[in-house]
Amino acid sequence: MEFAEQFVGAIPEAASALWELGDGWRTVGVLIGATVLMAVFGFLALRWRDAHGWLSAILGVKAGFIAFWLVFGMVPSGWMFFADGERDLLEGTLLPGPVGPFEDLYEVVRDLVTVGLLGVGLLAFGVAAVWIQRRFPRSLTPEEDQGAPTGGYR
């Protein structure tokens, strides 16, 4: 029960340390700005899909790149900097400290959290890719010719 009290008691201090690590409102501004840019690029990609195919594709890729940068760059990097910089606060309260012969259990848990974040990101990008492909199948415009069937590879 003592561990649970320490865990709950350390949450406000950890949140304060995370706020200071991210430079407070600056990080909030960057995240809001990136989200707004993603939304604008995605909206324009949807809006211009039929009239401007290539431009729509470029804007969709830009929206995806911003999401990729956030999910695979900022979040795991921020977690690693936070976990390394606040080890004294986190070890033994929010993350386990050395247990028996496992002296580096803190680092193992820190790295497992990072791998988990990356795995969730990969899964989300995979689901998004499948959803986009099903929602917007490629189709020929009236000016394009299907072409003669080639019979495939032999």
In this structure, what token pair is assigned to residue 111?
């790295």
Evaluate the CA torsion angle 129, 131, 133, 139 in order and state its sign: negative
Give CA–CA dist 91/102, Å, rounded.
13
* pTM exceeding 0.85: no
pLDDT of residue 97: 74
Give CA–CA dist 90/84, Å, rounded.
9
Contact between 60 and 42 under an 8 Å Cβ cutoff? The reply is yes
Give CA–CA dist 48/143, Å, rounded.
18
Q: Which of 61, 57, 53 is nearest to 141 (CA)?
A: 53
Q: Across the chain, what does the average pLDDT equal?
A: 84
Q: What is the pLDDT of residues 102-139, one digit of tens each?
A: 778 888 888 999 999 999 999 999 999 999 889 887 76
Categorize the per-residue pLDDT at 152 as very low, low, confident or very high, splitting at 50, 70 and 90: low
Task: Identify the three-state secondary structure at position 88.
Answer: helix
Q: Which sequence spans correspond to the domains of the chain?
A: 2-135
In this structure, what token pair is assigned to residue 89?
């606060």
Q: What is the pLDDT of residues 64-96, one digit of tens each?
A: 999 999 999 988 988 888 888 888 877 777 777
Q: Report the percentage of the chain scoring pLDDT > 90.
A: 34
